[in-house]
Amino acid sequence: MPESLPLRWLYLDLNSYFASVEQQLDPTLRGRPIAVAPVHTDSTSAIAASYEAKAFGIKTGTPIWEAKAKCRDLVVVPARHEEYVRFHHRIVAEVERHVPVTAVCSIDEVACRLCDNENGRAEVGDLARRIKAGIAANVGTELKSSIGIAPNRLLAKMAADMEKPDGLTVLDAECLDARLRALRPNDIPGVGKNMEKRLAAAGVVTMARILDLDAREARSVWGNVWGERLHWLLKGVDLPERETQRRTIGHSHVLGPDKRHPDRARLVARRLLMKAATRLRRMECRTGFVVLTVKGEKGEAVGGDGSRTPGLRWSHGQKLVAAHDSFTLLAVLDSLWLRMRAELAEQRYRQVSVTFLELTTAAETQLALFDAGPAVTPETEARRLALSAAIDRMNTRFGRDAVTVGHDSAGASRSSGPKIAFTRIPELAEFRE
């Protein structure tokens, strides 16, 4: 059995990443409990906490006012997302000095597939220690990581979670089953509260029970083919990775009280579209479908059990001949906005989102044979695209919003720049858009 489960994957998970970057940048924060917050206000929640803060029960999602109550010495620092992206690239470059990075899984996680000459038990341990030492020496001493090594990528990720901070866990054939049986079902990536309820309804409440399911039972319990794949992955089989591709581009913004009037909210929506359009061109793609989503301010009722009913939500899209210039896309957004204003009863809004669907490669896009919505002549499109590209260059050179197109009125739609969702890492160029 051991020879059938070679150690194929190394998974690196940076510990308390945002907080560690802050401690690396500011030596006075080292060894102190800190929480990283989106903005400097007690009404928001922590998006990261140092291990010193975690000792007080502070974690991601803890309201800042509650975090301060738990730890009187807590230091709250506003997030600097551009720095987190810069450090991310430096860390990936350092890992690449030791082993090729197969996949960047998030802002603080990378996966590396090991070759036959580097996947022995002793070799993988030496490799992991060299990576850790390289990050400390060439990126920063505060950037600690947990590394998991296992026969497949899922198990390597689970191994990285087993020892934090600064851990190193190797799951080989000899220890795999025993180590997994000591876990809980929610230690499997993707198993949240809803999935736990589904498993419990099927009588599956322990990791041992999951491991004892056969492939057919696992597929039935999960309700799809992922259950069967998971069965084999937990056995250590290195299944081929499923290819993924980007299907959407979009931006969303929760509106402050001063931006909730329709006129101000519309400016924000236009700015979101301009940001998305710039990304679209940078990716050399076009979109054939634009979606506008608006959430109303009113209608949020608080029940006796503390539950909240959100306000009205309006979301519709409009098809168009695939385009990527800002002006064609703004015209579609204006059309959707007028429709929304006529159909949504509420007159103040708390969130707006703009999303591009049906993405195609710009060079391969073909004209539609049938009516696909608004279209322009090739000459007009060329002029609009040239002007859009010129605006992109000006904003890159002189800073975000150096040139705007009807979406900036007395700061109505300015933002502090892109935020990091752990599943998507902003390009550094986005911080200038």
Question: Which residues carry out catalysis?
Answer: 109
* Closest residue by Cα to residue 269 from 332, 323, 322: 332
The C-alpha atoms of residue 194 and residue 147 are separated, in whole angstroms, by: 28
**Cβ pair 137, 158 in contact under 8 A:** no
The C-alpha atoms of residue 340 and residue 327 are separated, in whole angstroms, by: 20
**Cβ pair 375, 366 in contact under 8 A:** no
Which one-letter DSSP state was computed for residue 71? -
**Cβ pair 233, 191 in contact under 8 A:** no
Helix axes 81-96, 121-138, angle to 10 degrees: 140
| Pairing label, strands 75-78, 34-37 | parallel
Count Cα atoms within 13 angstroms, Cβ side, for 105.
17
Which one-letter DSSP state was computed for residue 424? B
**Cβ pair 276, 332 in contact under 8 A:** no
